[in-house]
C-alpha cells in the first residue's frame, strides 16, 4: 500500500532547508502515515547508526534531532507521536524524490526510498526504482552506479557481465580508450567473467555470472555478505556516515547527499616493494588505490607487443609470427609497472587486433609439437581462436 506524494503536502509554505545531520532520517520515519513515537524512531533507526553511535549517544541524538524538527516546523508532536507538517512533507519530497507514491510502512520506506537516496537515484521514476525490491535488481543498480553504467535494474547477469568486462578492458588500458568490447562483446562467457573479475579487489574466476555480480556489489558497498539485506544495511550505514560527516563540515547543508560507492581499484605498482612484486596473473595481488597512470594506451600497447613479438617470432620472411604466450611472458617481464593480468593482456590484444593496431593469427591444430604453447596462447573471440601475433617484416 502506498500514499500519493502530493497528498502529503497540504499547501506547503516556502522552502526551508533541513538542518544537516540525521534529521533527514527522522523525517523519513515520521513520514509514515501513522507517524512515529520517539521510542519507535530510536528503535527503528538504531541498526543504521550503531556503527557510529552507542545506544546512549543515539538516544540523546534522536531526542535532540526530534526536538529540533519540531521547533523548526518540519514535524508536529501530538499525543507523543511525530508526524510531518506541510513544510516537512515538502522537505521530504525534495530529499527523497517526489515521483510516484511513497511507502506507508517503515520497512518499505527504508528499503525503497532511503536506499534509493543512498544510491543517488531517488529522483528516478518508479520503473527504475522497482528493481530495488529484488536482490538481483539491487545488485545491478549498485554496480551500475558504481561503474557509471546506464541504469537498468532489470538487466540479466550475463548482460551486466558483458558491460563490466567493457569497464575492465577500459581500465586495463588506463581509461585511455572508450568503447572497449562494444555492445555485444565477443569473448566466451568464461573469458568475459575473468575479465570482469579483474574489477574485484581479489581478481579471480567467480565461476558464475551471478556470483560475480553478487561479490562485486558487496565490495562496492563494503558489505561482508552478498544477500540483499546485508547490501541494504551497508548502503544505509554509509549514508549515515555521510550525513554525520556533513553535519561536522563547514560547507553548506546538504539534504542527505550520498557517499560515493567504493569502486574496487586496480593493482598499483607502488603496492609492492621493489624487487618483490608478485606475478601478475589471473588471481593476482589484492587491488588497491586508483587506476595506475602507467597503464598503456592502445597505441603504446600495440607498439610494445609488435616489438616483443618480433624478438620471439618464428617462421620465414613474410610469414613470421609469435606465440601469444611467449609475447605475454616477455611483456610481463619487460613491463611490470603495467601490472597486467594474463586475461587483461589477452583481451587488450584482441581489442588491438579488432581496431587494426596488431594482427593476430590462428595455429595449425595438427601441430602436436607445440600443443602446450597453442593451448596457453589460445584466445577465443566470436567464431575464431587466436594463437599468434603476426610480425610484419
Q: What is the pLDDT of residue 296?
A: 94
Domain membership of residue 15 (yes or no) is yes
Residues 138 and 243 in one domain: yes
The residue out of 83, 104, 125 marking a domain boundary is: 104
Comparing 92-101, 185-194, 217-226, 334-343, which segment has the lowest mean pLDDT? 92-101
Q: Any alpha helices (H) in 130-205, and if so which ranges?
A: 135-146, 157-172, 189-196
Domain membership of residue 253 (yes or no) is no
Interval 221-247 mean pLDDT: 95
Count of structural domains within the chain: 3
CB proximity list for 233: less than 8 A, separation 6 or greater: 47, 48, 223
Q: What is the pLDDT of residue 178?
A: 67
Domain membership of residue 331 (yes or no) is yes
pLDDT band at 187 (very low <50, low <70, confident <90, very high): confident
- Statement: residue 276 has pLDDT above 50: no
- Domain containing 192 equals 134-247
Interval 301-307 mean pLDDT: 97
- Provide the grid cell at 341: 593480468
Q: What is the pLDDT of residue 48?
A: 97
Domain membership of residue 194 (yes or no) is yes
Q: What is the pLDDT of residue 162?
A: 93
Domain membership of residue 187 (yes or no) is yes
Interval 1-7 mean pLDDT: 48
- Statement: residue 274 has pLDDT above 80: no
Domain membership of residue 118 (yes or no) is no
Residue 43, domain CATH: 1.10.10.10
**What angle (nearest 5°) sits at the alpha carbon of residue 341, between those of residues 338 and 347?**
100
Domain membership of residue 53 (yes or no) is yes
* Cα–Cα dist 384/186, whole Å: 10
Domain membership of residue 78 (yes or no) is yes
Residue with the bigger pLDDT between 182 and 148: it is 148
- Statement: residue 235 has pLDDT above 90: yes
Comparing 33-47, 144-158, 213-227, which segment has the lowest mean pLDDT? 144-158
Instruction: Kindly report the length of the chain.
Output: 393
The residue out of 247, 276, 307 marking a domain boundary is: 247
Residues 140 and 236 in one domain: yes
Interval 304-319 mean pLDDT: 94
pLDDT band at 2 (very low <50, low <70, confident <90, very high): low
- Kindly provide the b/e burial profile for residues 323-350, where b requires at least 16 CB atoms within 10 angstroms of the residue's own CB: bbbbbbebbbeebeebbbbbbbbbbbbb
Q: What is the pLDDT of residue 281?
A: 38
pLDDT band at 318 (very low <50, low <70, confident <90, very high): confident
Pairing of strands 388-391, 320-323: antiparallel
Interval 346-354 mean pLDDT: 94
CB 262 within 8 A of CB 219: yes
The residue out of 229, 247, 265 marking a domain boundary is: 247
* Cα–Cα dist 254/120, whole Å: 13
CB proximity list for 323: less than 8 A, separation 6 or greater: 312, 370, 373, 374, 376, 377, 387, 388
Residues 57 and 145 in one domain: no
pLDDT tens-digit series, residues 18-60: 888 899 999 999 999 999 999 999 999 999 999 999 999 999 9
Residues 21 and 86 in one domain: yes
Q: What is the pLDDT of residue 249?
A: 64
Residues 237 and 187 in one domain: yes
3-state per-residue secondary structure call for the chain: CEEECHHHCCCCCCCCCCCCCCHHHHHHHHCCCCCEEHHHHHHHHHHHHCCCCCHHHHHHHHHHHHHHHHHCCCEEEECCEEEECHHHHHHHHHHHCCCCEEECCHHHHHHHHHHHHHCCCCCCCHHHHHHHHCHHHHHHHHHHHHCCCCCCCCCCHHHHHHHHHHHHHHHHCCCCCCCCCCCCCCECHHHHHHHHHHHCCCCCCCCCHHHHHHHHHHHHHCCCCCCHHHHHHHHHHHHHHHHHHHHCCCCCCCCCCCCCCCCCCCCCHHHCCCCCCCCCCCCCCCCCCCCCCCCCCHHHHHHHHHHHHHHHCECCCCCEEEEHHHHHHHHHHHCHHHCCCHHHHHHHHHHHHHCCCCCEECCCCCCHHHHHHHHHHCEEECCEEECEEEECC
* Cα–Cα dist 65/266, whole Å: 41
Residues 138 and 212 in one domain: yes
* Cα–Cα dist 158/174, whole Å: 24
pLDDT band at 277 (very low <50, low <70, confident <90, very high): very low
Residues 93 and 143 in one domain: no
Q: What is the pLDDT of residue 99?
A: 67
Amino acid at each position: 500500500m502506498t500514499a500519493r506524494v502530493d497528498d502529503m503536502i497540504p499547501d506547503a509554505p516556502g522552502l526551508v532547508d533541513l538542518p544537516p545531520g540525521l534529521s533527514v532520517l527522522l523525517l523519513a520515519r515520521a513520514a509514515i502515515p501513522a507517524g512515529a513515537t520517539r521510542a519507535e524512531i530510536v528503535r527503528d533507526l538504531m541498526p543504521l547508526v550503531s556503527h557510529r553511535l552507542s545506544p546512549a549517544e543515539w538516544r540523546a541524538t534522536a531526542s535532540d534531532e526530534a526536538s529540533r524538527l519540531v521547533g523548526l516546523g518540519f514535524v508536529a508532536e501530538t499525543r507523543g507521536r511525530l508526524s510531518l507538517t506541510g513544510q516537512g512533507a515538502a522537505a521530504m519530497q525534495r530529499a527523497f524524490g517526489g515521483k510516484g507514491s511513497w511507502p506507508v510502512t517503515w520497512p518499505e520506506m527504508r528499503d525503497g526510498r532511503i536506499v534509493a537516496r543512498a544510491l543517488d537515484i531517488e529522483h528516478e521514476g518508479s520503473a527504475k526504482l522497482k528493481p530495488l525490491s529484488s536482490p538481483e535488481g539491487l545488485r545491478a543498480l549498485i554496480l551500475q552506479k558504481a561503474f557509471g553504467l546506464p541504469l537498468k535494474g532489470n538487466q540479466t547477469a550475463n548482460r551486466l557481465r558483458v558491460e563490466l568486462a567493457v569497464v575492465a578492458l577500459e581500465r586495463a588500458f588506463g581509461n585511455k580508450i572508450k568503447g572497449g568490447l562494444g555492445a555485444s562483446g565477443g569473448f566466451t562467457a568464461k573469458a568475459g567473467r575473468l575479465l570482469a573479475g579483474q574489477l574485484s579487489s581479489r581478481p579471480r574466476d567467480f565461476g558464475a555470472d551471478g556470483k560475480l555480480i553478487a561479490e562485486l556489489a558487496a565490495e562496492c558497498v563494503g558489505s561482508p555478505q552478498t544477500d540483499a539485506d546485508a547490501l541494504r544495511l551497508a548502503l544505509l550505514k554509509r549514508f549515515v556516515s555521510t550525513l554525520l560527516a556533513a553535519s561536522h563540515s563547514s560547507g553548506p547543508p546538504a539534504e542527505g547527499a550520498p557517499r560515493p560507492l567504493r569502486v574496487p581499484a586496480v593493482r598499483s605498482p607502488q603496492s609492492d616493494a621493489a624487487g618483490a612484486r608478485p606475478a601478475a596473473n589471473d588471481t593476482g595481488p589484492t587491488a588497491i588505490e586508483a587506476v595506475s597512470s602507467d597503464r598503456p594506451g592502445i597505441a603504446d600497447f600495440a607498439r610494445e607487443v609488435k616489438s616483443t613479438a618480433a624478438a620471439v617470432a618464428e617462421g620465414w620472411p613474410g610469414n613470421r609470427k609469435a606465440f601469444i604466450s611467449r609475447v605475454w611472458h616477455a611483456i610481463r617481464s619487460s613491463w611490470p609497472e603495467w601490472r597486467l593480468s594474463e586475461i587483461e593482456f589477452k583481451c587488450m590484444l584482441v581489442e588491438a587486433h579488432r581496431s587494426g593496431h596488431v594482427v593476430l593469427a590462428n595455429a595449425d591444430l595438427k601441430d602436436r609439437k607445440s600443443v602446450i604453447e597453442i593451448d596457453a596462447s589460445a584466445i577465443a573471440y566470436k567464431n575464431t581462436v587466436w594463437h599468434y601475433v603476426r610480425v610484419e617484416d
